[in-house]
Every structure is written in C-alpha cells, then in structure tokens.
Amino acid sequence: MDKSGWSKIPLIAFATVLLWLKTYIVYKTSFDIKIENWKQELILFINPLSFLMLIFGISLFMKKKNQTRLILISSFIISAVLYANVVFYRFFNDFLTVPVLFQTSNMSDLGSSVNELVNLVDLFYFADFIALAAIIKFMPQHIGYRQYSKVNRRTYFLIALALAFFNLGLVETERPQLLTRTFDREMLVKNIGTYNYHIYDIFLQSKSSAQRALADGSELADIDNYIRANHQQPNPDLFGIAKNKNVILISLESTQSFVINETVNGQEITPFLNDFIKESYYFNNFYHQTGQGKTSDSEFVVENSLYPLSRGAVFFTHSGNEYNATPDILNKIGYFTASLHANNKSFWNRDIMYKSLGYERFYSMPDYKISEENSIGWGMKDIDFFDQSVQHLKEMPEPFYAKFITLTNHFPFELGEEDSLIEPYTSDNKTVNNYFPTVRYTDEAIKLFIEKLKDEGLYEDSIIIIYGDHYGISENHNKAMGEFLGTEVTPFVSTQLQRVPLIIHIPGQQGKVIPTVSGQIDLKPTILHLLGVDTKEDFEFGADLLADDRLEFTVLRDGSFITKDYLYTRDTCYEKATGEPADVSACDPYMEKAKTELEYSDKIIYGDLLRFYEQDELQEINEE
C-alpha cells in the first residue's frame, strides 16, 4: 500500500464531516427548532454523526471504485432527503413521513405552490455533494484510499455506536421516553436527528401495517365503553329541528378565525360573513384538528368524528377501511349525498375515499367548464365554482347533503387585479400580504352563492354550514403575523391561531355567538342531531355543539388541547385569560383524556376496527 495515503484525507472522513456540518447548518437556518439550553444544542449538533458514520461505514468493506461510488450515491440521497424536508417545512412547518411520500400523485397538481417554495439558492443543500464529486474528479491526489483490516472496521463501528448511545443518553436526560411519549416530530428531529427520525418513521409505518393484520373485534370493547361514557345527549329543543332539510356544507380553504370581523388597510376582510354570522350560530372558539392531510384531514374529521393520523393522510393510507361516515348514514334515511370540488378527482385520493365514506356522487373537474379565464393558482376560481355548482344542486334529488370545497384561498394566495377587492397587507412577508385579498375574494364568492340559492328557492329549505378547513398562515410567518396582530406569536398565540370559523345557519333560527370550546370532530353529531338522527350507537369522539352542559374540551392532532380556562401545548400549560404559563397541574386532569382519545382513534383507523362493528356482537363482548 502507498504509505503516502496515510497523509491524505480519507474519503469517508471527508464525506462524513461535510454532510454532518451541512446538516447542522440546515437545522439552524432552515428549520425553526427551539433550543432551550446548551445540552439541547449539543444534542442537535451531534445527532446526525452516528447515522452518517454507519451509512458511509459500509464502504469500508469495499474496494476503491465501489467505495467511491457508494459514498457519492449515499451523499446525494441523504442530501435529497434533507432538502425534501426543507421544502416541505417551508409551507407545512412539519417534517416528512413515509405516508406523505406515497402521496406523490398530488405533486402534479401543486403547480405554483411548489414553484413558490423552490429557488435557485437551494443548490446549497447539495453543496457538499458537488464539492465531493469535484474533488474526486479533479483533485483525486488529495483523497486517500486504503484497505481496512477487521480491527480497523470493528473500531470504527464501535465508535459510531458509542456516539449513538451517547446521543440517546443525553436525550433521555432531556426528554425521557421520547419515542413513546411524543406526538411532536420537531421534538424527534431535535433529539435523534432527521435521518434517524426517518428510520423511526419507517418502523412506525411497518408497525401500523401490521396492526390491521393482527387486529380483532375485541379491541373495540374498551373504546366502545369510553365513547358511551362520554356520549353527549342532544339539546331536546333543537334535536330534529332541521329534519328533512337539505344540508349545504362549505369548506373554506385555509381560512382562520382571525380574519372574521377584522379589517386590513381600513377595509373589512370578510364583510359578508360578518353579516351572515348575525343571523346564524357562530362558534368563535372552534379549532381545526388536521394533521399532515390538511384539507383531506378536515374532511375526514368532519365526516367521521374520528381524529386524523399524526403521520400522512388517512385518505391515502386507509382509504379501504370501513367507516360509519355522515354521507353513509344519511344515504340510509333517503338523502342524496354529493361532494363538489372543481379539481382532479384523484387529488388526495378522493375518488377512492369518497366511496368508503358513502358519497353517491363526486362532482369534479369534468363536471365544470374550466378555462384560463376562470382559473388561477390551484384551479377554478371560487365565484365561478359556486356559480356553476348551483345547477348541479338544482338537479339533485331532495333532500340532499352537498359538500363544497373551495380553492382560491390556497397558498401561495394568487389573485388577479380584476378580482382583488381589497389591497394586500403591507409587511415584508409576501405570503401574509396576499392572504387577505384571497380571503376577501372567497367571502364575495360565498355572498354571491347565497344570493343565488335564494333566487333558485333552495335557501329556505337548507341548513348551511360554513367552516375553515385548516390554517392558511403557518408558523414560518410568525413575525409578519405578530405585526398584524400587534402581539408576539408565542406558542400560546400560535395555538389560538388554529381557530377557524364555524357558522351554522338554520332557517327560522335567530343568530347567536356560542363561545364553547369545540373542534371539527364535533360537527358530525351536531349535523345528525339537527336532522333528527340519533348518534347514541355511533363510534365518534365529538359531542353535539348545541348540547346543554357539554364539556369544553378540544384536542389538536399534535397532542395540544384546549379547555374553558386552560390551553396546553409544547409541554406548557397556559391560562387562557392571560396567555401566561400556569402550574402544569391545572392541565393534568385533561392530559390522560387527550392521550386516550388520540390513541383510541388511531387504533380504530390502523386496525380498521369498524369492519368488526356489529352492535349485537359488541354487546356480547361487553357482557363477557
């Protein structure tokens, strides 16, 4: 062997150090990872190292040519994984999961959203790979190669494993039982690193796949007992008040409650909704409960009164499950059920999932006349969408249950000058600035739609439910949001920003603001009770929003929860009245309930447990 090789930099060391340092720089510049002390900073710094050493260490068993090839390919793939997380994080403020990676069929429809998130300087995320390839190609004399003995290899891997255990030891002192107690992906990345997090995620995906195969009906007994014990009786004065009425359900894309009764540049953001609220039930403490599935998650929660999954979208991962969704229930009592959305029918796997939910008809792109003139951003403008949809409503047999999904108020919030009814906000943040005109446009679309329902004689025979599907402004824009709100966006404020509008209009009923803490999971029993459908035997975690003495308690998908007096998020209990941290014991009574509901709902979905559900059989299980 050429002894001069000892004085050169080993390729494996060069590749490891470059990628390790790049990963740490990306942690600090591209992710908003909260660091509270020096130990957390040390954990963040060292957590990529053991993984990189183990991956690149495979090359120690190879000859020079294959060693070079493996290190280059590994460097590129790992960089690509890191970059994919960066792009995903820029909008969703979250990290990728295996189920999300299977949602690639959505990518062809993302269009301008992806273009907005990707830019030329992103080549930096592959800088180490480019430097490595250039040195191997043009300056090979600076790179050393050698054959490693068994002792050398054993020592190398022992060091890598020692670093991994040192990392885990530090983590245990900072966050005991991390892998079993957290719903927070940021916490996982901060402590075990992006790459180890993905390995853990693959393990979770394998585990969830096995759950269905191993599940049996006996698991439903405890869940059934919990749901029965927490069942909320409907308000007797309102139960069945809308019997045989049409149901028009409108999902407002990316609309948060902070725009309601608010102005920008001296102009109302939602003038029509502000007026419509006065003749409707308005819930001003209503929260979205979505996870990575965003709009599809909100559909899932609303239709099933089950929580979405913490990883991926149920619409993709469990579209073949048995459900007891609102459309299926209403089909059985003579309703015609339809969803209307002027988008590709396969987006979010809707064409498959809607069959499992019981929808009789899905009005998608082929059912609309879509052109360049009536489209922007993600597709058909909301005004044209509602205008053409009225004809579909007129052709439906009554009573009908029709869900509308709007589109214009979607990131990156594009709107032509001819459709802008208010001026953008003026900050240094383009996303926040453009959000308000698109919200205003959708408000106008709803106004014109309601007017047309009145003209066509559909208004008085319908209950109209309007709700926000998920947040529009992520935590990546907290600085500009703080400027608009006039306050710092703390974790408490950020959780409060997860409130979305809920308006329920019932013909003949007076308007009323209802401040009860609630969430999307409560919509199913509320709608069914208004229609006179008993939900006592249903598997659902929500409670009628109009019930007397309902428990004010709502769980978000990340494990945060809100009660009448307290808000719990990111391991901190806050007093709602002040927004200041409170003694955690004040939130203790609700922690187990929050955890139980999320775990029970996950069991139902992962195990496809509702396929076993027959009331008589379940009764026998409970008696045993």
Catalytic residues: 295
Task: Read off the tokens for 283.
Answer: 């819930």
**Greatest distance between any 2 Cα atoms in the chain:** 92
Given a contact cutoff of 8 angstroms between Cβ atoms, the answer to whether 441 and 367 are in contact is no
List, in sequence order, every residue forming a beta bridge with 339; answer none if it has no partner: 362, 403
Q: What are phi and psi of 346, to 5 degrees?
A: -90, -5
Picking from 126, 145, 29, 110, the residue whose alpha carbon sits closest to that of residue 76 is 126
> Helix 64-92 to helix 49-57 angle, to the nearest 10 degrees?
150
- With b meaning 16 or more CB within 10 Å and e meaning fewer, what string describes 214-227? ebebebbbebbeeb
Pairwise CA distance, residues 513 & 282, whole Å = 5
**Token couple for 483:** 């400027």
CA 105 to chain centre: 17
Q: Shortest CA distance to 393 belongs to which of 463, 443, 338?
A: 338
CA distances in angstroms from 460 to 138, 375, 425, 443, 450, listed in the order given: 77, 31, 37, 21, 11
Q: Cα–Cα distances in Å, from 24 out to 21, 154, 172, 420, 461?
A: 5, 27, 21, 42, 60
Q: What's the 3-state SS for 524-577?
A: HHHHHHHCCCCCCCCCCCCCCCCCCCCCCEEECCCCCEEECCEEEECCEEEECC
C-alpha dihedral sign at 572, 578, 582, 584: negative
